[in-house]
Structure 1
């Protein structure tokens, strides 16, 4: 046992983090008396790391992880968790894949056993692989059939010209159809090793026991060389981009995007507050002006797409086609106003309170707390949300004007 293992760092009351000798990270948050636990394995493997011929392989592996191991047959991974009244699932993002189970805290060690077995020992049976591909194809078609999801993917494909954020996480039917068992084994060997694993356990558990179980299951894995994160940087956008797609649907969907810095940038907190003021909730400027006062839209909202690399400030609306020009003009008017006129203290404080309330809501349940810890660990190297919340609390009216002027310029707009 290394010195680092022996001295698992207590980052906050009941929040512990340690790094095993082989590079694996273990984070635990004790919530005594709750009776519930969530176990999550975060893998630093997302769609941005795929080679062109592997498009969609990360998401395909997420599906195949549940298709059996030498000790757990087909259906056995989920069955072992469900047998004790728990639930198990997984999801894939641009940057990472997360396997997670939530159950009675008495069975948290079983959940870690099962997830570790699935992540490390999946069979990736060739026949099961071919049976699973049509499931992926159906997911791809369903996303295309949902106008808002389809439009956001098209927006990413225009706002990014070189960075892999422009590519669908699920790949295409053609790319997924061509993936073989050998491709999966090669990708798994390249990415599924201890330096790319973060174990997050939240609930009515003991931190020392979580660390001991993590060492038992993962501690003997050999350290592997980690490939450098060599993704093509997105060139600066210097001119407005517009695209239009015609479909036979009842309502028109509008999406706008401006390039913003990566999550770790000091402006992210102010941009998050700005997004709340502009278009989150019925009291936001866009909802009040476009929906309540003028009746121009059925829905409007703004949000951040923010991750390890530069992201997007996104505004979306649902409307009638004949009102598109007017809605676009009104949205840009509100954005330009934020660059020149201070928001009221009431607006600012409401936005900051709402943001903080969102965090508190997520932290009330074991799953949400684990998700916050994992996200902050992978994005910043520190699982605590405290520093980010402090930056949100510190945002003032001048910060809103500054970040709006710096990042929401028409020359960077994709619509």
Structure 2
């Protein structure tokens, strides 16, 4: 899966964001101990991994609050709040990130997905304890200044505009709405311009107070650190927050796919095609098989769709497949950039390739390549403290740490027949969502 998907953070997501895996043998100069998990008395969770690849460490605060937690009148608030938490707290004036992180050679940012929000910093390991204090502070003490809130509206509205002006990205986001239909996963993480323009401090503060509570927090620290010191600092910061009693509602069940065919005219010379199906959620037994199926379909130049549609038939400029495994559901998509005249044939060829897998399965060589690709992605993401922290944080927030650590072995155990069965179960060539962007008529 891609980073934005869920098992291999990341994204976002997309998530949309993204990555997953087991601890691998490290070079002699790079020692990684097993992660330590501790739950504070108020429900906040702490994960620490001593990882000595360099003198830098990753410190992240994950929050069980994302786009799916918003009411219909709150669309975009999880993302907007993420922006506002960098604008000052009751004890830290605006500019604290520049002063306390970037001036010391570190960097800090944040991301919002449908299932979670996370705040991440990479900096010298000597600053880990101070950074834990800072993340705990912004987690509950941000002032949400009214003037800053109004100024930030311009930033978020521009972010919406830029997203819409990028046709490939906008197609993918809109395709989610086609496939998930009325489910919260089909709604835009950025929200709507109307809601953002009318947003008040009281509304945002209520969302903040409701969701940013210790039971929603997971602190992740990876690097050359002393675990005991990290846990003590977590206890005296996050651990002092009173338990709220919040129990996050489980994600609503994703219903059956309602086939749709939509076409949108846009001021581009090229066409963009997207087809999609509902897939298994993150903790489903079929997730590894679908992960490999999507890799075989279109996640590398040697995959079936790029070889067929681009190299042999020359129908598309680019084509790729993606699988996003979320906490309450999943989505499989195929997207392509192409000449408008090739739309119908490209769609037919995509469906024909899927039908071939449903009928004949995949080869052992294809399966081995897909597993090797997953192993390589995992190894690459494991090279840094930040990559490891993201995998651990996402697993703790929307999955289970034990499942994250075992996922690569689960991929290795998938058989070619399981991949074929996954194609038959999830990719119906007669029931899917379809969205195309086409040039405006002249």
Q: How many residues align?
A: 404
Cα distance between partner residues in 1 of 2:96 and 2:75: 28
Q: 2:189 aligns to what?
A: 169
Q: 2:389 aligns to what?
A: 370
Q: 1:87 aligns to what?
A: 107
Q: 1:180 aligns to what?
A: 200
Counterpart pick for 2:68 among 48, 51, 63: 48
Cα distance between partner residues in 2 of 1:165 and 1:255: 17
Shift of 1:13: 3.6
Cα distance between partner residues in 1 of 2:172 and 2:271: 13
Q: 2:89 aligns to what?
A: 69
Q: 1:348 aligns to what?
A: 367
Determine if contact 2:355/2:429 at 8 Å carries over to the other structure: no
What aligned pairs does 1:299-310 form with structure 2 within 5 A after superposition? 299-310=318-329
What aligned pairs does 1:154-233 form with structure 2 within 5 A after superposition? 154-229=174-249, 231-233=251-253
Determine if contact 2:279/2:426 at 8 Å carries over to the other structure: yes
1:221-242 deviation line (CA, Å, top 9, x unaligned): 11111244154433212x5321
State the secondary structure of the residue aligned to 2:391. Answer: helix
Shift of 1:384: 5.8
Cα distance between partner residues in 1 of 2:165 and 2:317: 20
Determine if contact 1:34/1:204 at 8 Å carries over to the other structure: yes
Counterpart pick for 1:274 among 281, 293, 296: 293
Determine if contact 1:27/1:198 at 8 Å carries over to the other structure: yes
Determine if contact 1:77/1:114 at 8 Å carries over to the other structure: no
The answer for unaligned runs of 5 or more in structure 2 is 1-22, 24-31, 435-442
Cα distance between partner residues in 2 of 1:153 and 1:16: 36
Shift of 1:161: 2.2
Cα distance between partner residues in 1 of 2:431 and 2:240: 49
Q: 1:153 aligns to what?
A: 173
State the secondary structure of the residue aligned to 1:412. Answer: coil
Cα distance between partner residues in 1 of 2:417 and 2:342: 33
Cα distance between partner residues in 1 of 2:240 and 2:135: 17
Cα distance between partner residues in 2 of 1:230 and 1:307: 12
Determine if contact 2:36/2:47 at 8 Å carries over to the other structure: yes
The answer for unaligned runs of 5 or more in structure 1 is 1-10
Shift of 1:72: 1.6
Determine if contact 1:46/1:96 at 8 Å carries over to the other structure: yes
Cα distance between partner residues in 2 of 1:232 and 1:34: 42
Q: 2:358 aligns to what?
A: 339
Q: 1:405 aligns to what?
A: 424
State the secondary structure of the residue aligned to 2:118. Answer: strand
Shift of 1:82: 1.1
Determine if contact 1:42/1:98 at 8 Å carries over to the other structure: yes
Cα distance between partner residues in 1 of 2:253 and 2:277: 16
Please report the RMSD computed on the Cα atoms of aligned residues, expressed in angstroms: 1.5
Cα distance between partner residues in 2 of 1:339 and 1:206: 51
Cα distance between partner residues in 1 of 2:110 and 2:53: 27
Shift of 1:53: 1.6
Determine if contact 2:280/2:330 at 8 Å carries over to the other structure: yes
Determine if contact 1:41/1:98 at 8 Å carries over to the other structure: yes
Cα distance between partner residues in 2 of 1:412 and 1:368: 37
Determine if contact 2:63/2:397 at 8 Å carries over to the other structure: no
Shift of 1:360: 1.1
Counterpart pick for 1:327 among 330, 335, 346: 346
1:139-169 deviation line (CA, Å, top 9, x unaligned): 0111111111211222112112221111100
Relative contact order, CA 8 A, sep 6+: which one is greater?
Answer: 2
Cα distance between partner residues in 2 of 1:255 and 1:223: 45
